[in-house]
Structure 1
């Protein structure tokens, strides 16, 4: 059978619509059991262990990863592996979340029986609150799916979507309750573009050429031009004998100086832009970029805690580090 483009689009839309309808069932079902689960995970002194079979296992791995990256130590244990030795990974201080749409997974039921003797708190995520597994677990979370989006009603679709949504809701609720902030997030995401944005500070990018982009008020214009050519940052900083910033001189200032017919031996004290923007070298590079964009400049001097010049930071240096 051949389908038209419109028919294919309509099939796709009907699947999305069905899953959204099932997600709204989940939205309406969030209740005190969710509070119990969030509180239990927040107060957990050990690790949060997620376990599930098949598609539930795949979703469980994602939930474990989300919990771990938002401040709740967590990892996934496959129930079959648990029954062949990995139960040793689970301790009395842990909380175990079991995911089973039907609530009748034999592996999870066996696993639940074995950890019961340790009095470990167990949470079940299921669509059947009267299932054998749900009856044995301490806290029951209903994913509230009445049917799958699959036209055969067989492939886990709406149930896995709602499980994922419920896992995200738990992780981000606990994250909020824990007051987990951007700095905490950066510690678990140090690599890649995200990590660079969150942890890279100006001081991390300051190299020799950034440190050399300065001159004194008595420096002559021709010598200042040499420094600007050597550093190539679009700006040099004029500092006093104590390394305090007196002002800046930019590529634009150089053009304007020549347009006015300034002599090449003119002292920088006569050309300096006083009262420039400066930023602490301990600030994040993203903050430097925001300051530059706000004021329409491409480079600014960085200073230390004593307001002494440490270097010039510019947009190109920050972008080259993968931060935008």
Structure 2
């Protein structure tokens, strides 16, 4: 995957510059300790022009992430949104994945950063998990205990856990992993939240041991519109392996259907699931085609 070329422009500390002309300090605290926060945002080519989906929610979460791990947030959210649209224009991008990153200056001590920088880049990227139903395994890795780190924050260093889980899953012939929490309840995928369907209802793990996904919140909003009951509760592996269907959701993966968990294959065809309805409705939402389906 090539993320940039000689013409690519990124935004760095208030200026637009060629990606090929930028450098990173190898003594940076973020490089050595993973002490940085980031976001994943998508822009879509709609009939109303290029729209960044839930831009404010994402940049507010970026601000919240920085505050949770004591990185000063010295930027105006409205201006960051404005600069993001300008970035897309400069790179002639209409459908894009956008990555804001706040990183810290050289500092080998283990104290909070004092001189952070911000970078925003963008590239064309399809659905992160592809467009086919996924073969998923329960990971041997657990999500970090919320008493050990700020689970609510999108911290770069936390994603080593995600890399380990996905790498393990793929080495075993699966497409993706699903991690449990320290209580052996279902938590989330390495880069997405999870919903399961049972008897016409959706269930999803509660906040506390998972990243509060913006796409997750959007799915819950859509279910209210479609009159689909969503229950937030702790779920076990047994619950999962007796479900009718399941799906992942996230900005990068959007809505991704799951075919199986370990040896268990979900009994309902994907096209007949609530997840498939949510997938179609979510696409209508991000493309600003407000023809929500009616569930009878």
So what's the TM-score if we normalise by structure 2? 0.26
Task: Please identify the structure whose Cα radius of gyration is greater.
Answer: 1
Report the structure, 1 or 2, having the larger helix content. 1
Of structures 1 and 2, the one scoring higher in RCO (CA 8 A, sep 6+) is 2
Report the structure, 1 or 2, having the larger strand content. 2
